[in-house]
DNA sequence: CGTCTTTGACCAGCGC
DNA sequence: GCGCTGGTCAAAGACG
């Protein structure tokens, strides 16, 4: 059973299997990267189309309005969005189309900062709040550890290593695009330490395995680590995004 | 006591 | 002009 011949065969079989898995992993990474790029291109095209629909594209206020969905604890009624700035609440109102109250905040990190934000719990999913920012900050974000911590603020840099429950992302229906766009392009080539042309590698994979692009996509979706990998890519993208809000 | 939040009142814009 | 709605103000209360 444990003859040298048997061991050798076993090692060779494992090596072949490892090689196959490596190649598959490589190809999947590239497919993922390509899909992400296609998604991004489509998303950018969508943004361009939506911005063309804007009633007053030169409106200086509207052009600086951005809207975000932020996941929060549905039991938390405070309507606090931790985005790194210091906000003072100056009003709250129940609006017609949403039973949840809308809170009004002004930025007071710097004197004369014109930025305001409205925060309201999402009607469809109460675990999310909709944060609408108006105007542009005339100052930088609070540096970590600087200033005293306030109830309506946090010291984490804007939209960066925040808790997973408070990662904002743009609302697709908002015609006034937020400054943040989720670039889902993986640094997949770096991860795979591969410098070959992605298209040629993908063609290799498809022809070697006699598979269609649909098969590749289907197997990619079935891949158990697909969702975590996608989530990690999104989080990485948000973290590496310079604060443009 | 100073600061911040809450909340009712007030104001402006818009549609009818 | 009137009523509705969203946005802002400011007095009062809460909190550290």
Contact A80, A151 (CB under 8 A): yes
φ/ψ of residue A115, rounded to 5: -75, 135
Check if residue A150 sits with its Cβ under 7 angstroms from strand B: yes
Backbone region of residue A160 per phi and psi (left: phi > 0; alpha: psi in -120 to 50; beta: other values) = beta
- Per-residue flag: A151 CB under 7 A of strand B: yes
Tell me the nt nearest to A90, Cα to C1'.
C8
Query: Given pLDDT bands bounded at 50, 70 and 90, which one contains residue A6?
Result: confident
Better-scored residue on pLDDT, A129 or A184: A129
- Chain-wide mean pLDDT for chain A? 60
Q: Please check whether residue A103 is in contact with residue A53, taking contact to mean a CB–CB distance below 8 angstroms.
A: no
Give the separation between CA A136 and CA A115, rounded to whole angstroms. Answer: 6
Distance A76 CA to B8 C1' (A): 24
Q: How confident is residue A39, by pLDDT bands cut at 50, 70 and 90?
A: low
Positions 108-167 in A, CB within 7 angstroms of strand C: 116, 118
| Under 8 Å between Cβ of A71 and A167 | yes
**Residue A113 Cβ < 7 Å to strand B:** no
Rounded Cα distance, A104 and A120, in Å: 9
Per the CB < 8 A criterion, the answer to whether A154 and A84 are in contact is yes
| 8 A C-beta contact, residue A218 and residue A52 | no
Average pLDDT (A150-167) is 36
Residue-by-residue DSSP string for A18-82: HHHHHHHHHHHHHHHHHHHHHHHHHHHHHHHHHHHH-S-TT-TTGGGEEEEEEE--TT--S----
* Residue A217's pLDDT band (cuts 50, 70, 90): low
Please check whether strand B approaches the CB of A78 to within 7 Å.
yes
- List strand C contacts in A 92-111 (CB < 7 A): 93, 95-97, 102, 104
List, for residues A95-141, the tens digit of each pLDDT value: 888 888 899 998 877 777 888 888 888 777 777 788 888 877 777 66
- What whole-number distance in Å separates Cα of residue A118 and Cα of residue A113? 16
**Å from the A49 CA to the B16 C1':** 34
Q: Does the pLDDT at position A36 exceed 70? A: no
Tell how many helices (H) and how many strands (E) occur in chain A. 5, 6
Chain B footprint bases within 7 A of protein beta carbons: 4-9
């Amino acid at each position: 059973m444990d003859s040298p011949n048997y061991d050798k065969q076993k090692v060779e079989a494992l090596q072949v299997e490892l090689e196959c898995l490596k190649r598959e992993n490589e190809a999947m990474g590239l497919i993922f990267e390509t899909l992400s790029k296609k998604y991004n291109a489509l998303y950018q095209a969508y943004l361009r189309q939506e911005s063309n629909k804007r009633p007053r594209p030169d409106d200086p206020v509207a052009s600086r309005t951005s809207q975000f969905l932020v996941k929060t604890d549905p039991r938390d009624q405070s309507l606090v969005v931790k985005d790194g700035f210091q906000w003072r609440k100056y009003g709250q109102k129940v609006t017609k189309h949403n039973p949840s109250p809308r809170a009004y905040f002004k930025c007071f990190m710097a004197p004369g900062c014109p930025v305001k934000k409205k925060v309201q719990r999402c009607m469809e999913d109460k675990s999310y709040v909709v944060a609408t920012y108006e105007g542009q900050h005339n100052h930088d974000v609070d540096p970590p550890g600087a200033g005293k911590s306030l109830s309506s603020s946090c010291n984490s840099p804007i939209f960066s290593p925040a808790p997973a429950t408070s990662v904002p992302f743009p609302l697709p229906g908002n015609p006034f695009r937020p400054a943040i766009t989720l670039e889902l392009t993986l640094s997949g080539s770096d991860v795979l330490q591969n410098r070959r042309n992605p298209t040629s590698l993908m063609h290799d994979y498809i022809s070697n395995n006699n598979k269609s692009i649909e098969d590749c996509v289907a197997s990619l979706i079935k891949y158990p680590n697909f969702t975590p990998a996608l989530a990690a890519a999104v989080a990485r993208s948000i973290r590496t995004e310079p604060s443009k809000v």
